[in-house]
Amino acid sequence: MTTSRFPDCFGGRLPELVMFDLDGTLVDSVPDLTAAVDAMLTEQHCPVAGEEKVRLWVGNGASILVRRALADTDGIEESAVADALHKASLKRFMHHYGRLSGHYSKLYPGVKCALQQLADAGVPMALVTNKPSQFVPHLLTDLGIDGYFDDWLGGDSLPQKKPDPAPLLHLLKKLKANPARSLMVGDSRSDMQAGKAAGVPTLGVTYGYNHGKSIAEETPDWATDNLADFFSSAVKTSGVEV
């Protein structure tokens, strides 16, 4: 579904800050992640996972992704994966993802247009992702969206990451934005939980990687299947000329 009416809580004005998740919200990066996971598993003489499974595992950072892949391979609970195996496998995953990241990733429809609409309207934007920070800059550059964000945080930029609200609160303070007049945009439970815990209204996208569940189950304040449609309505409602 697409929400055509912009949030009433902004009183017809645009947000003071829009914070975006990356993977599953702006970028479909699962093909790259799948290639890295499968390369790691192949080294261990294990069957590859494939994209269908990886789509259900992503969203909580590289460490948990690797743990889920190892648990699936052995048919055990995530908590039962040996720490030594997890540590070694994560190192190999990071190696493969470093050489493969950006090879197959692509922006979702409407993303570039939405970012440009907000930029033209003078709305500050930030990126808050659980992706390891070493992989963020070149991916943004490769996809041509690096110039849109006033700041960004990776999954290892702070001691906490989503669903903890700390990254959002850090950006809100740094960019001097009121939580109640800002917006968190994401595709998953961790995004919605982080937004709510930070006192920030949430916008869920109906595509993405919410572990196979509808984003509606996470009760975002609003939902959309196309960011360009949503923010086009926002700009029109605000009366800002772009």
User: pLDDT tens, 50-94?
Assistant: 999 999 998 788 999 999 999 999 999 999 999 999 999 999 999
Query: By three-state DSSP, how is residue 59 classified?
Result: coil
The 10s digit of each residue's pLDDT in 140-187 is 999 999 999 999 999 999 999 999 999 999 999 999 999 999 999 999
Q: What is the C-alpha to C-alpha distance for residues 202 and 136, in angstroms, rounded to an integer? A: 23
Residue 21 appears among annotated catalytic residues? yes
Distances (CA, A) of 44 to 39, 49, 93, 123: 9, 12, 12, 47
Q: Using an 8 Å Cβ cutoff, are 30 and 54 in contact? A: yes
The 10s digit of each residue's pLDDT in 94-104 is 999 999 988 99
For the chain, give every domain's residue range: 8-28+106-238, 30-100
Q: Using an 8 Å Cβ cutoff, are 216 and 223 in contact? A: yes
Residue 24 has pLDDT above 50, yes or no: yes
pLDDT at position 7, please? Answer: 52
pLDDT at position 5, please? Answer: 47
Q: Using an 8 Å Cβ cutoff, are 200 and 178 in contact? A: no
The domain made up of 30-100 has a fold known as DNA polymerase; domain 1 (1.10.150)
Query: How is residue 61 written in tokens?
Result: 């950072």
Catalytic entry in 21, 28, 38, 191: 21
Residue 113 has pLDDT above 90, yes or no: yes
Q: DSSP E strands: which ranges in 139-201?
A: 151-153, 182-186
Residue 239 has pLDDT above 90, yes or no: no
Helix 227-238 to helix 111-120 angle (10° resolution) is 20
For all residues of the chain together, what is the average pLDDT?
Answer: 92
The domain made up of 8-28+106-238 has a fold known as Rossmann fold (3.40.50)
Query: How is residue 188 written in tokens?
Result: 């998953």
DSSP-derived letter for residue 44 is T
CB neighbourhood size of 126 (10 A) = 24
Question: If pLDDT is split at 50, 70 and 90, which confidence band does 138 have?
Answer: very high
Percent of the chain past pLDDT 90, that is, above it, reads 85
Query: How is residue 238 written in tokens?
Result: 């605000």
Burial of 232 (0-12, 13-18, 19+ CB in 10 A): middle
Q: Using an 8 Å Cβ cutoff, are 211 and 195 in contact? A: no
